[in-house]
Each structure stands twice: as structure tokens, then as C-alpha cells.
Amino acid sequence: MIAALYIRVSTADQAEKGYSLETQLSENRQKASELGATSFVEFIDDGYSGEYIDRPALSQLRDGLERKEFDMVVIYDPDRLARNLAHQLIITDEIEKSGAKLLFVSVTFEESPEGKLFYSMRGAISAYEKEKIKERTTRGKKGKARQGKLVNNGRCFGYDYDKVNSMYIINEAQAAIVRQIFDLCIKDKLGTALISKKLNNDCIPAPRGNQWIVSSIHRILTNTAYRGVIYSMRQKSTKTGFSTRRIEIRPESDWIPIKVPAIVDEITWHTAQKQLQSNKNFAKRNLKYDHLLAGLVYCARCGKKMSIKHSGNSSDRISYYTCLTQVSTSYIYLENEKCTARRIPSLILDELVWTKLCELAGNTKLITQYTQDASNPIATANIKNTLSKLKETEKKINTQKETILRWFRQQIINGGDAEKQLDEISKQLIEIEITKKSLENELTFLAPQTSVADIAINIKKHFKDTQYYRDDERRVAIRAVLDKVAVERIDTTFARNSKPEFTVNLKFL
Ligand SMILES: [Zn+2]
């Protein structure tokens, strides 16, 4: 690393210790070598005032800077460069522009009022300059675009770039491939994946010598250049961080159209857009109608989502809802976090849930039970278990009560004993009654916030004449009332045709 050391001493300075030629020289050298300089070029203005910028050594330094000869410039403080701030800023700017690092030796400089002013002025000026440059380039680009010239000489498949006129010229070999891609899309109605596959199979050269990929096909089919127009000033990029930018699309009124040579005609281009849109709709429809519960199914064992996974070949394909831990690539290396829940054939679960919902639609009592079960299956089950035990006890005690009364009527026991026992029994019954009440309260608390009546109304509304529903209508109905299905396969059979059994919990909105 080459360091330029600049030293200036005026006749007046000589008296001051810190500014002597030797001190400056040795301190500059030390600072430079600390920072990794391996060779030094010294520029010494001995006996020059800092008032004028025209000094022999300084001029040599500035010439060297222009030739980008140095990696760093070391100066005792900016005062050595010049007496006034404007001159200091000019020279430090030149240093920066040459790509050299600017270093001051004086540690007190930064803290001094002059130092603070120097740095804040530098900051302000560089911010101002950046704005200026940005404005100038945007304006320059706009002006160029208005003259019908291309602004970015970015390469575009199908064209060569004519630097002199800032314009594309058709590259016939590549243009033929572009036309072929449009043909494959429109005439053969191939999707982007199949087009890229075919081009790779036929060894058709792709842009920049790569393989054809779906996104490059899509880019070609949607690029307006091929129908003869490029829109300039379409995007705006804003710096959002140190190395990040945000790309925004400007309003269409700001776009500047630039005419370029067309490779396909307007009708071909627009037909391709239509075809792309219809491919997209078709793909969506497939995704939508295939699986009634896609996105709603959760693994009851681990709580993670279950996603669709296919098995078998395309003609004999079975789809399963499979726990995410067994499918997602993020679990590949987390063997012990993989859930052991079995996959669920989607057709069977879809039908099961659909039937259940249709059943519920006309039965508020069933809905009540389901809303409670689904809100917190374990707690609800525990409470119900306790409740049913309490009811049994209550029954037994009541039988006991009957027996005592019968014994009393048959005079097997006397009035005093009977009263004592009946008293004991009624105390127990009251106790049971209180416990029952509080448990029933808890059950309603566990139920979802939406009232059962509201849920019933909602289900009824979406589940009318369900036998006539198409798949897409079924999907809409299900999503209107259900936000979660928790499922786990409970049978332990593995025979191919055994009927799977599940526990299914529906969670309503
Ligand atoms: Zn799981």
C-alpha cells in the first residue's frame, strides 16, 4: 500500500512544537505504517502559508491523486492542507474521488470546533452531491428516453445493441428462437415449463449460454420489446439500507415508450398474454378443486399443518394429507422432530369431513357438541368424563334414597335413623349439583367465542341443497364455516384395503 504524506510548515509554524517538519513527518509515517502502508511518498511544502492553494508539493500531490497513485493520504490535520474550509473541502474531495483513504494524525482535531465544522460540512456536501448526481442521471435518462433512445443498454435476447444510436438491432438467430417460443405458447398451447423442457431437449441455446428455465420463458413471452416497444422510467429504485433497494413500479403515466424493432406482431404478442393468463387460471383451478381441505388440515399428534403429498404414478395417483414434519425440507435434518403420525388419504378425509358438516347443518345439538369438542378436545373430554361419573354417582345416591324411604315405609328402620341418613344423602346431592354446575360452566367457557346459534346459522346458510354442490362450491362452503381440521389416524392396520379410522376435530370460526 502506497501512502502519500503531506507536510506543510510555514515560517510562523516553525516556532510551534507540534507543527515542526520532523514531528509531522514521523507522526505521519507512523500513522501510515500502522494502517498497513508499505511505501511512502513525501510531499513537503516548507515555509508556505496555508492561505493559498497553489503550493509546489501540494500541486504534485493533487496531480498524483488525479492519476490515482495512492492508497492513502496522511496529513497531520486539515489545517495543513489549507487555512480555509472551502479549500480543505476541495482537496479532501479530490482525495476521496481518487479512491485514496484520507487520514488525519491529530486526534484532537475531530473534537475541535474546526474539526466539527469540517466533518459536518463534508457530510452535508456529500449528501448534496449524491442528490445532485441522482437528479442529473434521472433527468439525463428521461431526456435520452424522450429522444427515443434506450436508456439502459441492458442486453435483451433477440437483439444486439447499437451503441452509437443507443438502439436494439434484431439478432436474426435469436429472434427466430423468440418466435418459436411464441409459437409453442400459442399454437401448441404449451405452458412455460413444457416450453423450457422442449427447448432444452432440442438443444436450443438459451440467453447467456444457460439452460432454459421457466422464468426466462415467462420473461420472453411478456416482454413488450418483442412487439416493438420498451417502456423507460417504468421502475424506480430506492436505497433502503446499506446494500438493499426497493424496486417500485412508477405510475403508467410516467412511463416513456421507446420504439424498438418488433420481433412478433401485436396480435401474436397479445394472444400469448391471453394464453399465459388461461394457463395460470387452469393451474389455479387444479390446485383449488383437487383437495377439498387443502390448507385446513392439521396433524392432531404434533399440531403442525398437513400438506398434500402424492404417491404412485400419474395415472394411478393417490394423494395424502401428510404431517409437515415428514414433507417439508426444513425437517430433513431434524430426524428426532419428525412426527410419527400416519398420512391420511385425502379423498377419504375430504368425504368424511364433508359428510360430517352436512350432518351438522341441520342439527343444532350436534353443533353444540362439536363446537365444545373442537375448542379444546382434551380439557373438554376430561370435564365430560368427570360429569358422566358425577351423574352415575348421583343416580346411585338417588337409588339409595329410594331404598331408605322404602325401608322407612316398611318400618325396617325408624324415623330418626331415616332422617339422619336422608339428611346425609341430600348434602351429597347438593355437593354434586354444585360441582356439576361449575363443570358445565367450564364447558361453555371452552366453547368458541362465537355462539353456537351463530355457528348453526352460518353452517345452515352455506349448506343448503348440498347434494347438488360442485367441488368448487363445496370448497367455498367448507371455508366459510371451518378454519381447522385436526386429524390423526388411529387404526393400526397396514393392509392395503383396510378401512382407515381417524379421530377428526373440526374447529369453527
Ligand atoms: Zn405431526
CA angle 128, 133, 138 (to 5 degrees): 130
Element (H, E) at 345: strand 344-345
Average pLDDT rounded to a whole number, residues 480-502: 81
Q: Please determine, for residue 287, whether its predicted confidence score (pLDDT) is greater than 60.
A: no
Average pLDDT rounded to a whole number, residues 303-313: 81
pLDDT bracket for residue 288 (50, 70, 90)? very low
The pLDDT > 70 percentage for the chain reads: 89
**CA 368 – ligand 1 centroid, Å:** 28
Q: By mean pLDDT, which of 75-84, 198-207, 212-221 is the weakest?
A: 75-84
User: How do residues 441-473 score in pLDDT, each as one tens digit?
Assistant: 667 656 555 677 788 888 888 888 888 787 778
**CA 326 – ligand 1 centroid, Å:** 8
**CA 302 – ligand 1 centroid, Å:** 4
**CA 332 – ligand 1 centroid, Å:** 14
**CA 355 – ligand 1 centroid, Å:** 24
**CA 501 – ligand 1 centroid, Å:** 16
Instruction: Tell me what pLDDT residue 329 has.
Output: 66
**CA 313 – ligand 1 centroid, Å:** 25
Instruction: Tell me what pLDDT residue 245 has.
Output: 77
Residues written for the chain: 509
**CA 287 – ligand 1 centroid, Å:** 23
**CA 114 – ligand 1 centroid, Å:** 67
- The grid coordinates of residue 82 equal 489549507
pLDDT bracket for residue 282 (50, 70, 90)? low
Instruction: Tell me what pLDDT residue 219 has.
Output: 92
User: How do residues 140-166 score in pLDDT, each as one tens digit?
Assistant: 777 777 777 887 767 899 999 888 888
CB atoms within 10 A of CB 502: 20
Average pLDDT rounded to a whole number, residues 7-28: 76
**CA 325 – ligand 1 centroid, Å:** 6
**CA 154 – ligand 1 centroid, Å:** 49
Q: Please determine, for residue 320, whether its predicted confidence score (pLDDT) is greater than 70.
A: yes
Question: Whole-prediction pTM value?
Answer: 0.38
CA distance 191 to 281: 12
**CA 505 – ligand 1 centroid, Å:** 15
The pLDDT > 90 percentage for the chain reads: 16
**CA 26 – ligand 1 centroid, Å:** 71
Q: Please determine, for residue 497, whether its predicted confidence score (pLDDT) is greater than 50.
A: yes
Q: What is the per-residue burial (b if ≥16 Cβ within 10 Å, else e) of 355-374?
A: ebbbebbeebeebbebbbbb
**CA 38 – ligand 1 centroid, Å:** 63
Average pLDDT rounded to a whole number, residues 418-422: 85
- The grid coordinates of residue 68 equal 490515482
CA distance 342 to 322: 7
**CA 295 – ligand 1 centroid, Å:** 15
Return all residues near 109 (Cβ < 8 A) that are at least 6 apart: 77, 78, 79, 115, 118
pLDDT bracket for residue 436 (50, 70, 90)? confident
CA distance 272 to 270: 5
**CA 378 – ligand 1 centroid, Å:** 17
Average pLDDT rounded to a whole number, residues 379-406: 85
Return all residues near 484 (Cβ < 8 A) that are at least 6 apart: 296, 298, 374, 505, 506, 507
Single out the residue of 339, 311, 313, 308 nearest to residue 325, CA to CA: 339
The letter for the amino acid at 138 is T
pLDDT bracket for residue 290 (50, 70, 90)? low
Instruction: Tell me what pLDDT residue 226 has.
Output: 95
Q: What is the per-residue burial (b if ≥16 Cβ within 10 Å, else e) of 242-256?
A: eeeeeeeeeeeeebb
**CA 319 – ligand 1 centroid, Å:** 17
Instruction: Tell me what pLDDT residue 217 has.
Output: 93
Whose grid coordinates read 472551502?
86
**CA 486 – ligand 1 centroid, Å:** 10
Helix/strand/coil for 282: helix
**CA 359 – ligand 1 centroid, Å:** 28
**CA 318 – ligand 1 centroid, Å:** 20
pLDDT bracket for residue 62 (50, 70, 90)? very high
Instruction: Tell me what pLDDT residue 289 has.
Output: 46
**CA 297 – ligand 1 centroid, Å:** 11
**CA 345 – ligand 1 centroid, Å:** 15
Tally: H helices and E strands in the chain: 16, 16
CA distance 88 to 96: 12
- Residues 95 and 27: beta-carbon distance below 8 Å: no
Q: Please determine, for residue 230, whether its predicted confidence score (pLDDT) is greater than 90.
A: no
Instruction: Tell me what pLDDT residue 315 has.
Output: 63
pLDDT bracket for residue 210 (50, 70, 90)? confident
**CA 304 – ligand 1 centroid, Å:** 6
**CA 432 – ligand 1 centroid, Å:** 40
CB atoms within 10 A of CB 12: 10
**CA 306 – ligand 1 centroid, Å:** 8
**CA 13 – ligand 1 centroid, Å:** 81
**CA 341 – ligand 1 centroid, Å:** 5
Instruction: Tell me what pLDDT residue 43 has.
Output: 94
The letter for the amino acid at 142 is K
Q: Please determine, for residue 1, whether its predicted confidence score (pLDDT) is greater than 80.
A: yes
Q: Please determine, for residue 427, whether its predicted confidence score (pLDDT) is greater than 90.
A: no
Class of residue 87 by CB neighbours under 10 A (exposed 0-12, middle 13-18, buried 19+): middle
**CA 386 – ligand 1 centroid, Å:** 29
Q: Please determine, for residue 176, whether its predicted confidence score (pLDDT) is greater than 80.
A: yes
User: How do residues 80-137 score in pLDDT, each as one tens digit?
Assistant: 888 878 888 888 888 888 889 888 888 677 777 878 888 888 777 777 777 777 777 7
Element (H, E) at 351: helix 346-361
User: How do residues 362-372 score in pLDDT, each as one tens digit?
Assistant: 888 888 877 76
DSSP track, 451-462: -HHHHHHHHHHH
**CA 427 – ligand 1 centroid, Å:** 48
Average pLDDT rounded to a whole number, residues 329-348: 77
**CA 488 – ligand 1 centroid, Å:** 9
**CA 248 – ligand 1 centroid, Å:** 41
The letter for the amino acid at 277 is Q
Q: Please determine, for residue 342, whether its predicted confidence score (pLDDT) is greater than 70.
A: yes
- The grid coordinates of residue 224 equal 413488450
**CA 353 – ligand 1 centroid, Å:** 19
pLDDT bracket for residue 209 (50, 70, 90)? confident
Q: Please determine, for residue 437, whether its predicted confidence score (pLDDT) is greater than 80.
A: no
**CA 337 – ligand 1 centroid, Å:** 9
**CA 338 – ligand 1 centroid, Å:** 7
